[in-house]
Amino acid sequence: MTQTVLQIRSNGQITLPANLRRQANFAEGDLLEASIAEDGTLCLKPKIAIDRDQAYFWTARWQKWEKAAEKDLHAGKTKDFDSIDDLLSDLNSPS
């Protein structure tokens, strides 16, 4: 584990030295989530920004549906149609 002493500047900023950025694979412009553990340890984790119009996909509810759909796909619970008319006919037929 690499240990480096950092100094907090007057405006609260710190600089991560190049060797730490390389080891953590951090690059300029990356987003980091900062958290403090009960023992006072500061943890920085890389985060990815998601467009608001795509955020629904990462909700627990949507991910539950995605997992169910994936399970159905792997179980072969799908149908293939040659045309949109065949699909609509199947949808409109009593099951």
Q: What is the pTM of this model?
A: 0.52
- DSSP assignment, residue 75? T
Whether residues 17 and 42 fall in one domain = yes
Q: Which two tokens stand for residue 71?
A: 């399970």
Q: What is the CATH number of the domain that holds 44?
A: 2.10.260.10
Q: How many domains does the chain have?
A: 2
Does residue 82 have a pLDDT over 90?
A: yes
Pair (45, 68) in one structural domain: no
**48-72 residue pLDDT tens:** 999 999 999 989 999 999 999 999 9
Comparing 31 with 2, the larger pLDDT belongs to 31
pLDDT at 74: 95
Cα 90 to Cα 95: distance, rounded to the nearest angstrom: 9
- Per-residue three-class SS string for 9-67: CCCCCCCCCHHHHHHHCCCCCCEEEEEECCCCCEEEEEECCCCHHHHHHHCHHHHHHHH
Domain of 15?
Answer: 1-49
pLDDT in tens, 13-44: 999 999 999 999 999 999 999 999 999 999 99
Do residues 42 and 57 share a domain?
no
